[in-house]
Amino acid sequence: MSTVTGWRSRLAFVVMLTAWSIPGAQAQAAPATGIVIVTGQQATTPVPTLMEGAANGVGNQDVADQLFLRLAELGPKAQTAGDRDFVPALARSWTRRDSTTLVFDLDSRARWHDGTPVTARDVVFTFKRAKNPDLAPRVSDLLRQIVSVAAEGDSRVVFRFARPYAEQLYDATYHVAPIPFHLLDSIPPDSVSRSSFATSPIGSGPYRWVRSVPGQFVELAAVPDFFLGKPKIARVILRTAVEPSARLNLLLSGQADAMDIIPPPSVNQVAADTTLRLIAVPSSTMGFLLFNQRDPKNRARPHSILADNRVRRAITFGLDRRQLVQAVFGSHGMVPYGPVSQLLWIRHRSPRAEGPNVNEARRLLAATGWGDSDADGTLDRDGHPLRLVLSVPNTSGIRRQMALLIQEQLRRIGVQIEILQLEFPIYLERRAAGDFDVDFSSVNQDPSPSGLTQSWACTGGNNVAGYCDRGVDSVMEQAVRGRGDPGERWIEALRKIEEDAAATFLYAPAFMYAVNRRFRGVTITPQSAWLTLRKWSVSPVPVAGRSR
């Protein structure tokens, strides 16, 4: 019997050894001129004008940015107002005929990946599709100020706008990149998403589509004769792992060269790997406590506690926001002044957010009649405790963690916070219906501050808390519609929103990205992480060592 057991053990060993020694079966090191980037979302339809609804995600955008070139790219400062911070791309130059007419001259060297020249006809065709609200409801809304797009010859395109305003160039270039007329014109617009073009798109960017393996990765290859310079990294693989721990394992095991958005608790673990470089990138994310100013049960009535500006201000004063940010994001987060993420250019001009002031918080609450009549530590008024429900989605570790700290900090000023963790779809449904006291919100912002009107104007489509200040509306309107530099008006709007204490603005983090040190010239832009990939280079020699 022992002989049999020994024979079986040896067989198992041989099988294992064989499995490991199959040629090419070992985990491959990245080729000298390729990069594997691990992300959380896989591209499904990375085609401008088709990225609507759930398809408008980072996964599609990352790939579309490599495949399709915009007329001009937004520069590193992400200054959306004016023309200064834009870099020529598909268009080699642009001029203004008058205050509502913008003329682009296309670069005659630009080619689609099948070799066909990019022409003005492609641009006109793209904007016609993009402005159709039935096909592209999101983009068409963003392009609503563009009245017409017309071709003048093969290489000149003329944009006409409804009125003069500071973000004309941004609107004409940022939201949609041209798609090829010669390949799509024959396909009915509502069939494009099911066409072969959607599954293997042909663009004009530095990388061309190679293949997609569903649920696993998308592979792109450098376009050797790309007119703005041949990309130095020949092969790009965007590998998908939805679970953050799986992404981290792929990175730390050497199966990936780069990763976006390292979860804050894992930053030190990545930093300990000497083959990796950590890069802090300003993010478009901003988190805040949104105070419902209407009664959740009857929207016609004001909220019994939070309709009073002084209570809202007291809550803001009662929180040590810098401590909260430090606890969750370490040194890579900041407390925003108003609803402004690190991506928005107006943050550079805004004042610093106020620090905690517990005495002022207590004074404001006392002034509104809240006192601790029964000495139980919670303030009360007319027999009712100062108790608020804080809605938090159970999918956000950051918000769940911070909610506990907020609960503890507000307990010190006598405000009782009940944390209500909700499944994400239910959380969103209740939020949209205004069914909350305090909502722990988090948003991703576009580079343009004009998006603020959606949430903070009286009639904004995403104003779920019933906040309304006609003064804010007026200033934001001037900022959006005004010519010249709208910066000061935006700051004034932020100041009013802060004074109104429409929300307590908690965090605007920078996200940490990791890139293997063998890549050189690495820059990551906040509005699109891998946009500058074509300018990176790679050392053929792997970086040795892995210190822990």
User: Binding residues for another protein, per CB under 8 A?
Assistant: 19-20, 22-31, 34, 36, 44-45, 50, 52-56, 133-134, 137-138, 141, 193-194, 213-217, 219, 237, 239-243, 245-247, 249-250, 252-255, 395, 423-426, 428-429, 431-432, 442-446, 451, 454-455, 460-462
Nearer to another protein, 74 or 220 (CB): 220
CA dist list (Å): 447 to 109, 174, 325: 29, 10, 22
Nearer to another protein, 159 or 217 (CB): 217
- Rounded distance between C-alpha atoms, residue 265 and residue 244, angstroms: 11
Q: Are 365 and 358 in contact (CB under 8 A)?
A: no
Q: Are 310 and 367 in contact (CB under 8 A)?
A: yes
| Least CB distance to another protein at residue 352 (A) | 27
Q: Are 86 and 169 in contact (CB under 8 A)?
A: yes
| Least CB distance to another protein at residue 280 (A) | 21
Nearer to another protein, 229 or 547 (CB): 547
- Rounded distance between C-alpha atoms, residue 474 and residue 295, angstroms: 26
Give alpha helix (H) positions in 368-509. 397-411, 424-432, 452-456, 470-481, 487-500
Nearer to another protein, 372 or 477 (CB): 477
Helix (H, G, I), strand (E, B) or coil at 437: coil
| Least CB distance to another protein at residue 254 (A) | 7
- Structural tokens at position 347: 């943050």
Backbone torsions φ then ψ of 433, nearest 5 degrees? -85, 0
- Rounded distance between C-alpha atoms, residue 171 and residue 184, angstroms: 23
Nearer to another protein, 20 or 300 (CB): 20
Nearer to another protein, 3 or 375 (CB): 3
- The distance in angstroms from the start CA to the end CA of the chain is 46
- Structural tokens at position 87: 């870099």
Nearer to another protein, 119 or 283 (CB): 283
| Least CB distance to another protein at residue 344 (A) | 14
| Least CB distance to another protein at residue 8 (A) | 11
- Rounded distance between C-alpha atoms, residue 293 and residue 308, angstroms: 8
Nearer to another protein, 229 or 545 (CB): 545
CA dist list (Å): 146 to 125, 143, 396, 466: 14, 6, 38, 31
Residue 455, CA atoms < 13 Å, CB-side half-sphere = 24
- Residues constituting the chain: 548
Nearer to another protein, 309 or 462 (CB): 462
Nearest to 401 by CA among 390, 412, 411: 390
Nearer to another protein, 19 or 375 (CB): 19
Nearer to another protein, 133 or 521 (CB): 133
Q: Are 220 and 239 in contact (CB under 8 A)?
A: no
Q: Are 151 and 54 in contact (CB under 8 A)?
A: no
SS3 string, 135-201, reads CCHHHHHHCCCEEEEEECCCCEEEEEECCCCCCHHHHHHCCCCCCCHHHHCCCCHHHHHHCHHHHCC
Maximal C-alpha separation, the chain = 95
| Least CB distance to another protein at residue 193 (A) | 6
> Cα-Cα-Cα-Cα dihedral of 500, 304, 385, 317, to 10°?
0
- Structural tokens at position 396: 């956000």
Residue 321, CA atoms < 13 Å, CB-side half-sphere = 24
Helix (H, G, I), strand (E, B) or coil at 69: coil
| Least CB distance to another protein at residue 240 (A) | 7
| Least CB distance to another protein at residue 487 (A) | 22
Backbone torsions φ then ψ of 92, nearest 5 degrees? -85, -20
| Least CB distance to another protein at residue 381 (A) | 33
Nearer to another protein, 140 or 204 (CB): 140
Nearer to another protein, 416 or 462 (CB): 462
Nearer to another protein, 252 or 438 (CB): 252
SS percent in the chain: helix, strand, coil, step 5: 35, 25, 45
